[in-house]
A and B are shown apart, each in its own frame.
Chain A
Amino acid sequence: MLSLGGGGAKSTKPSFVSYVTPEEIKLEKELPKKEKHPDLLPGEVVFCSANPILKHTQDDHSQRGVFGTLFCTNFRVTFISDEMSQEETDRNFKNKLYGENDIPLTCVDHIYGVYDEKRKLITGGLVKNKYPSKMVIHCKDLRVFQFCLTYTNEEDAKKIFQGIAHHCLEEKSLKCLFAFSYEGTTRPDMQRKRDTILFDSPEDWAEEMKRTKTKCRLVTENENFDLSQKLPKYFVIPSIIVDLSSHQGKGLPIWCWSHHSGCSLFKASFLPVAQDDGDFQNHLDTMINAVAHNYLYSVKTEDLTESLPTIQDIQQSYNKFKQFFLIDNATEFWLSDVKWFSSIESSGWLDIIRQCLQKAVEVVECLEKDNTNVLITEEEGTDLCCLISSLAQIMLDPYYRTLTGFQSLVQKEWVAGCHAFLDRCNHLHQKDKDCQSPVFLLFLECVWQLVQQHVPAFQFSETYLTVLSDSVHVPVFSTFLFNSGYHRESFMKVESPLAQSGPLSCPSVWDWSLQFNSKAQNFFLNPLYSEKVKQTVRKPHKHKHQRQLSLPSTAFKTPTKKGFFKDEADSLKKILRVKRISRWMGSPDSPIAATWEFYESWQRRPLDYHGLLLPCLDGPAIRLWMQRYLRWIPEVHIMGGGSVAITSKLMELLAQVQDLKRVLEQRDSSQSAKLDKRTHLQHRPVLLGSAGHNSSFPFAYSRNRSFKPIIPTGLLQRIVLTDNLASQGDDVSEFDKVAFSDPYDA
């Protein structure tokens, strides 16, 4: 025991800095030419490969890296290390489809080539002649890979570089996506068993309508997309609307959700600017009338394009924002650190999140407080409409805060609601990038804000949201591959004869067992979720989830705007004619004061995690999603600290409580049968190995050791300076040795 405390310098652990340049390593080490192959997924084909490639583990000018083989397949770019890594095996949270060294082709964001110390963005045209010495790949899930190509022979290097650039950057057709070659074990019998409601059958919709007690009508006429290709296969509209065919279904108010008071939320796309003014006007009248007719003749319409940023703004802001986290040079990160807050702010991303939540709160206020119907509109009705309506539903309906509820919500509003995932995510790397916009990510961001403000109200954890945001870029799941229901149907129909194996079925992202084992799926659940007392039977199609009356019915207070529609229809029309869409027409009072009041009345109620939730929107409340954005940056990892410390302890305690309870029960039930209870106590599921984890668990692995000093002031660099000083001091010290002979007088 005593020997452990040996002299300071001696007892230091062997550091992992390589003082040998890679060239030297190369010379020393005769690389064994054994071929390694990636574990291919069924249907995966290798296009090209190159060996040896040096993968930099960290770019802090230490040139440290791992040699291995780089492959490019029809699914991913993958790097297989020559060294066996044991860490890989014992990781709990491992994605089955792609590992930590795999980049799905659609996940590649940008590729940079380093030519003579200069970094250039690689675009399709630049590929032809030269290949760079180093290739830097920025991923959409914010990982950064650096591959050094100089050690392999020229031919291979050229081939792999061009191959990767071609398959990642060139525009391609949807059929080339891996999902259509993937021959994963599809289990049609299993699909129906899932809890998540997919909203691809009339029954699903009927159930949802029953659950929310709406009086609207389910439209099945579009089953074969005869009415419009832009409309969902099935949708729900106010029961009063009869004429469906005019304007190709544009401007139809599509039902989203019904409040328990009876008022509902609708979304609609803009009407095409019509030449016939009268017809246009009539149609608009009918639609608004229909919405108003739904409940108490009151309606508020809201044009989202007017008050929220456009999808291009969102894209721009996110581009700026993500740059702070795509770090291929750690020193850059230290530099950005000084102005961290203002630079984050300048991207405007957090403010966009705030605006979206704010808008959703306004919608919630109309539904909850004023009990008016709300119609939100947008050019296509499939971007911000989806965002705002789903946020409002999460705030209002506790069912959507459960894991299955949330998945059903995404199915209902985004997938069945025809959000153009393919264009927005730009899976096909189209040159025209106007359509690309991280709207769905923005939605997840907003949900994350809600989750971190109201932890016990959500059944899922932030890890779930992070994983979901990653899965968008994995080209396996049908969920995120199509632009609309029609697009999906038509594509599947065309494709299936070619596949010649029955109907083509891509798995849904909600089949999490494809990506994670059941142990890892435990991380999706929030250990702090305050479960509803024995109502939460989550059987498919049996909605036991009764919505809570979050606020007592305000029936005694006659809705102020009741019947206003009839009186003010004329003026409304005028407004509509000028601007096509109105702003808040209902409240003459300033909306801010009203919102304030709404918040206050909500606070007076006792806290109910199964009732209405409102987000806090002021400056300090909107926070950075640390887990998603900072998980790959080892400098930010708190070793053995962070919130995961608390969470893991919680999970541990929870398991302990369950165990003890079980033991007690067993003891009560079987007193005669002398069971050795110890086995039960020891059989506790080891959820987390506690102290070894860092703050970005479960994403960053213990492999990621920080090679930078924790103290960011560059002690090391300074020491290099003092080395010089020391050599200067050498001659003096000679002199000093003489001086030393004169000791201090004792």
Chain B
Amino acid sequence: MDMYKTLPPLHNISGECVLQRAVLVRKKLSVKEGGGWLSGTLFCTHFRVAFVPQDSQRPDDNADPVLLGDHDVALASIDKVVAVGPSRTKLVTPNGSLKFTPEELVLYCRDLRVFCFLFDRLTPDAQVMEITYTIAKTYQPLKAGTLLSFQNSALGSVEMKQFLSNRRRDPNMNWFECSADWEQELERAGATGWRVSSVNDRFEMSTSLNRFTVVPHRVLDTELKKTFAHFNDGRIPRWCWRHPRGSDLLRMASFQNNIYHEKDDIRNLELVLFGGQQMCVIVDLGEEMPSPADIQVAHTRLRTLCLGDISSSVSVPDDKWLSTLESTRWLDYIRCCLRKAAEVACLLRGGHMTVVLQELEDRDMNCVVSSLVQVMCDPHCRTVAGFQSLVQKEWITAGHKFLSRINYQRDCDKEEAPVFLLFLDCVWQLWSQYPARFQLTEDYLLALHDSVQLPLFSSFLANSQRERCRRSQHLPQSYTPVNGLRELPMGEPEEPVDPPFPPVWDWALQYSSSRRARFTQPVSQAPCIPPVLNGNLNTNLERSWHSDGLPGSVFLLSRSSFSNPSNLLPWRSGNSGSYWKSHRRAPSAEGLSGLERLIRACSLSDPSENTTTLHDPFEPILLPLLIGPCVRVWRGCYLRGALHPQAFTHPMFSCSQHPLDQLAFEVQELGEKLAQASVRHPEHQTRQQEPRRLESNLNQNANNGTFLFSSRSSQHQPPASRATTRPTNPSRAPWTASQPSRSAQRISGKHTFLFGHQQESQSVQRYIPSPSAKYPKHPSKTS
């Protein structure tokens, strides 16, 4: 403990002790950090390799981030340690020995970051050797049991547990952990005819599903129970999202074979599948999409390509880069996912049908495609809060097997596949093509990408919601929630979260406020208008038609074509002769031509619509361009670690320190000055002007959902009545009354803008820890 007095301070988390340190170390800064070198002191603890810059101030105890400083790397993220000597490089293994004193230490991380530390000549050799050995010994990525010890060293201390249990969850996002959350989502999407069923509350119907499922209104729980058996793993068709034009997106696993279809069952199955619509398109994600194994192979190849490892000295010649990139097939898979999602989005736009995503297990590609569709169609999902809700809805609670897919413990290599990272890359492609339509930024996606490799978050540490809930039940009750005001979900005896493992969305644990500020666009609107416009408008027609219980037509969308195989729905094809005649349905001619018309119309009208009518009441779909030159490598992610000196040039253009930031700030500052000036003077002309501009802003944004573009050029446009009518929308009123606190926040968040309203938007958008959440004390003070 005495070393704290003399050294630049390492801001310890509780229970952490420093194993080794080295002075006079320089860290190579990445392009994003501005390039060049930073000198300071290197520490190695049980939990992380920390680097403290020389001139850093002593942090006060409440400073964030809690777990990792800006220059730190968690031991669990480290993949390889390479020592660079005067003339050679060596991969340092826990048991290996070094025959030379390293001049440079390179840490390759699992999240494709590379940390490079340069030792000074004045650094004592002993320190250099020791810290190299210590890091090599402690990171041990492959040994069983290390995961637990790592987690314990990070979060195991009493103070930390106390601290974490008092963290408040982000109220802006939807956690989908109680039925009210789902109802809120139904409300937001404007979906009627659906209800939240808690038939799986104790995970009796399906172990991998969430507690709550959204099913059609008219299916009773008792009837619903019978349908589970017909689907693989009991993953019945569940509602995900409703397009503003009135079609619903569902997802399900494949049908269970060899099961007898009773008449009642069939009725229920059809009901569940069709919702309130007359047409149903089943989108098969089995054959065309890459399998998890494919994704794993592609990602491994991409990794080796991008992360030129200096210890192996295998590198691709520069002139062969493009073809090698092509041969990894990673971009092909991205294209494949985006294409499928774009198809589904076009379909949904047609309106009045259910689109059901079907995959064998419903736990990988269904997650990717359903969430991509929503990112494309729903501007709310392009905000940070909306995106987090989306991941929560379609991935975490939906039972994506994070634990096996990420393979933290290296015990299920066969299952390992970075499906979630593929999804993030797809979102990045969308982002890079339409940066102005997103509130979130590349930095945010990167942060999420990196967090996946850190085995500390409840979000990623389980294969299903059941496992998550189980763990929380087995917890020792050594602490109690201090914050009693926290609302408990209806009928929930237990805490929904797992206190020792925080959710990944608690960004303050990992990122400092300055870095978190970069998660959102500098010039943007806060949470966007949810696409509630007319979700239940024209459903009446169908409703009446449907009330007879007549089933509609079913089509299969596979390989970009529609077909109607007779065995699409097993109960309709009917192996048993008695049902064959009465239940077989062929497509009616109108059905198909209608479908044809809508797809054609969508694909044709969409691009032109953007240009001709800027004020489309529907958010135009973000249809990504998928041809060769438009799908690109995520440089900011995969290539940030390249150590080639040329690749390391500092002046490369980076989006993080985007001049937009500075300019937006400048505009704001000047605006404030102006406002002040006009306060000082009697005339108020300019002040009056400010709100007017804001209003036109709002309308513009409400109309076409663009985030970045305020309507400078279209100020002549009269203020539309749309924005003012929305709050009084009768369908929203009851809910608003029942949930005053949340809705108040949401609505206030909805109308925040950068210009002139900075303080308000910050207070709503950015996460602020509750005052009761005390930071764990410095060990020297507590012990």
Which B residues are CB-close (under 8 A) to A600? 645
Check if B339 is an interface residue, CB within 8 A of chain A.
Answer: yes
Contact with B along A450-469 (1 / 0, CB 8 A): 00111111000000000000
Check A715 against B647 for contact (C-beta < 8 Å).
Answer: no
Check if B7 is an interface residue, CB within 8 A of chain A.
Answer: no
Which B residues are CB-close (under 8 A) to A350? 319, 322
* Range, interface on chain A: 35 or more
Residues of chain A from 599 to 642 with CB closer than 8 A to chain B in the complex:
599-600, 602-604, 606-607, 609, 613-622, 624, 626, 630, 635-642
Q: Given A341-B323, A682-B715, do A745 and B652 touch, yes or no (CB 8 Å)?
A: no
Q: A732 contacts which of B586, B605, B646, B652 (Cβ < 8 Å)? A: B586
Q: Given A607-B34, A636-B630, do A5 and B537 touch, yes or no (CB 8 Å)?
A: yes
Contact with B along A709-727 (1 / 0, CB 8 A): 1111111101101110111
Check if A344 is an interface residue, CB within 8 A of chain B.
Answer: yes
Check B350 against A729 for contact (C-beta < 8 Å).
Answer: no
Which B residues are CB-close (under 8 A) to A454? 651-653
Check if B639 is an interface residue, CB within 8 A of chain A.
Answer: yes
Contact with A along B454-488 (1 / 0, CB 8 A): 00000000000000000000000000000000000
Check B647 against A660 for contact (C-beta < 8 Å).
Answer: no
Check B351 against A7 for contact (C-beta < 8 Å).
Answer: yes
Which B residues are CB-close (under 8 A) to A342? 322-323, 326
Q: B602 contacts which of A6, A12, A656, A663 (Cβ < 8 Å)? A: A12
Q: Given A639-B610, A645-B436, A714-B560, do A745 and B35 touch, yes or no (CB 8 Å)?
A: no
Check if B132 is an interface residue, CB within 8 A of chain A.
Answer: no
Check B617 against A4 for contact (C-beta < 8 Å).
Answer: yes
Greatest chain B CB density within 10 A among A13, A609, A682, A743 is at A13
Check if B159 is an interface residue, CB within 8 A of chain A.
Answer: no
Stretch among A188-196, A365-373, A484-492, A685-693 lining the B interface: A685-693
Which A residues are CB-close (under 8 A) to B320? 345, 619
Check B599 against A715 for contact (C-beta < 8 Å).
Answer: yes
Check A736 against B585 for contact (C-beta < 8 Å).
Answer: yes
Which B residues are CB-close (under 8 A) to A626? 629
Stretch among B89-97, B355-363, B706-714 lining the A interface: B706-714
Check if A118 is an interface residue, CB within 8 A of chain B.
Answer: no
Residues of chain B from 597 to 648 with CB closer than 8 A to chain A in the complex:
597-614, 617-618, 620, 622-623, 625-630, 633, 635, 639, 642, 644-648
Check B712 against A690 for contact (C-beta < 8 Å).
Answer: yes
Check A354 against B603 for contact (C-beta < 8 Å).
Answer: no
Check A9 against B350 for contact (C-beta < 8 Å).
Answer: yes
Check A16 against B604 for contact (C-beta < 8 Å).
Answer: yes
Q: Given A6-B538, A607-B35, do A718 and B560 touch, yes or no (CB 8 Å)?
A: yes
Shortest Cβ distance from A737 into B: residue: B588
Check A726 against B663 for contact (C-beta < 8 Å).
Answer: no
Rounded to whole angstroms, the CA-CA distance of A661 and B677 in the bound complex is 12
Shortest Cβ distance from B593 into A: residue: A726
Q: Given A333-B627, A334-B627, A345-B322, do A453 and B649 touch, yes or no (CB 8 Å)?
A: yes
Shortest Cβ distance from A338 into B: residue: B628
Rounded to whole angstroms, the CA-CA distance of A549 and B402 in the bound complex is 54
Shortest Cβ distance from B535 into A: residue: A5
Check if A667 is an interface residue, CB within 8 A of chain B.
Answer: yes
Which A residues are CB-close (under 8 A) to B245? 5, 8
Rounded to whole angstroms, the CA-CA distance of A736 and B589 in the bound complex is 12
Check B343 against A715 for contact (C-beta < 8 Å).
Answer: yes
Residues of chain B from 656 to 710 with CB closer than 8 A to chain A in the complex:
658-660, 663-664, 666-667, 670-671, 673-674, 677-678, 681, 683, 685-686, 689, 704, 706, 708-709
Which A residues are CB-close (under 8 A) to B652? 453-454, 616
Check if A498 is an interface residue, CB within 8 A of chain B.
Answer: no
Which B residues are CB-close (under 8 A) to A664? 670, 673-674, 677
Check B646 against A621 for contact (C-beta < 8 Å).
Answer: yes
Q: B318 contacts which of A344, A618, A740 (Cβ < 8 Å)? A: A618
Check if A534 is an interface residue, CB within 8 A of chain B.
Answer: no
How far does the Cβ of A714 sit from chain B's closest Cβ, in whole Å? 7
Q: B582 contacts which of A8, A646, A742 (Cβ < 8 Å)? A: A742
Check if B235 is an interface residue, CB within 8 A of chain A.
Answer: no
Residues of chain B from 264 to 296 with CB closer than 8 A to chain A in the complex:
266-267, 270
Shortest Cβ distance from B623 into A: residue: A710
Rounded to whole angstroms, the CA-CA distance of A604 and B562 in the bound complex is 59
Residues of chain B from 696 to 746 with CB closer than 8 A to chain A in the complex:
704, 706, 708-709, 712-713, 715, 721-722, 725
Rounded to whole angstroms, the CA-CA distance of A91 and B601 in the bound complex is 28
Check B551 against A744 for contact (C-beta < 8 Å).
Answer: yes
Stretch among A34-42, A120-128, A168-176, A700-708 lining the B interface: A700-708
Check B681 against A9 for contact (C-beta < 8 Å).
Answer: no
Q: A743 contacts which of B549, B593, B627 (Cβ < 8 Å)? A: B549
Which B residues are CB-close (under 8 A) to A333? 627
Check A646 against B436 for contact (C-beta < 8 Å).
Answer: yes
Q: A337 contacts which of B36, B323, B352, B628 (Cβ < 8 Å)? A: B628
Check A638 against B434 for contact (C-beta < 8 Å).
Answer: yes
Check B318 against A354 for contact (C-beta < 8 Å).
Answer: yes
Stretch among A103-111, A517-525, A575-583, A670-678 lining the B interface: A670-678
Sample of 12 A–B contacts (CB below 8 Å): A8-B247, A8-B350, A599-B645, A615-B646, A641-B436, A646-B658, A657-B666, A692-B610, A711-B560, A712-B626, A719-B600, A744-B267
Enumerate chain B interface residues (CB-CB to A < 8 A): 34-37, 244-247, 263, 266-267, 270, 306, 316-326, 339, 342-343, 346, 349-352, 433-437, 523, 533-534, 537-538, 548-551, 559-564, 581-589, 592-594, 596-614, 617-618, 620, 622-623, 625-630, 633, 635, 639, 642, 644-653, 658-660, 663-664, 666-667, 670-671, 673-674, 677-678, 681, 683, 685-686, 689, 704, 706, 708-709, 712-713, 715, 721-722, 725
